Amino acid sequence: MNRMKAVFKKEFRDSMRDRRALMMSMLPALLAPILMTFMFHMLAKNVVSTDELTVQVIGQQNAPDLIRYLKDKDVKFEDYKGVPKNDIQSEKIKLVLEIPDDYSEKFSKSESAVIYLHSDGSLKKSQAVERRLSKLIQQYSLTIGSMRLMIRGINPSIARSVSVKNKDYSTDASRAGQILAGLQMIILMAAFFGSAPTAIDTTAGERERKSLEPLLVHPLSSIQILLGKYFTVVSFGFFATIISVVMTALALDFVTLKSLGVDPKLTINMQVNIVLMLIPMALLAASLQMLTSLFAKSFKEAQSYLGFISFIPMATVFATMIGGAKGASWMYLVPVLGQQQLLSDVLRGEGMDLLQFLTVSCITIVLTLVILTVLAKLLRSERVVYGG
Question: Does residue 181 belong to any structural domain of this protein?
Answer: yes
Which runs of consecutive H residues, i.e. helices, occur in the chain? 2-17, 19-47, 64-72, 84-89, 103-108, 124-151, 172-179, 181-200, 206-208, 212-217, 222-253, 268-295, 299-309, 312-317, 337-347, 354-378, 382-385
Question: Does residue 166 belong to any structural domain of this protein?
Answer: no
Asked if 34 and 104 sit in the same domain, the reply is no
Range of the domain at 216: 2-44+173-385
Close Cβ partners of 127 (under 8 Å, ≥ 6 residues apart) = 47, 119, 121
- pTM summary value: 0.68
- pLDDT averages per 10-residue partition of the chain, 388 residues: 77 76 77 77 58 81 88 87 85 86 85 86 73 86 83 76 66 57 81 88 80 71 84 92 89 68 75 92 92 82 82 77 64 87 80 89 95 86 66
pLDDT of residue 252: 78
pLDDT of residue 364: 95
pLDDT of residue 121: 75
pLDDT of residue 204: 80
> Alpha-carbon distance 1 to 56, whole Å?
76
Asked if 76 and 129 sit in the same domain, the reply is yes
Question: Does residue 62 belong to any structural domain of this protein?
Answer: yes
Asked if 134 and 182 sit in the same domain, the reply is no
Question: Does residue 317 belong to any structural domain of this protein?
Answer: yes
Choose the final residue of a domain: 111, 127, 158: 158
Asked if 154 and 195 sit in the same domain, the reply is no
Question: Does residue 260 belong to any structural domain of this protein?
Answer: yes
Asked if 145 and 101 sit in the same domain, the reply is yes
- What CATH code is carried by the domain that includes residue 152? 3.40.1710.10
pLDDT of residue 368: 95
Asked if 52 and 38 sit in the same domain, the reply is no
> Alpha-carbon distance 23 to 215, whole Å?
27
Count of structural domains, the chain: 2
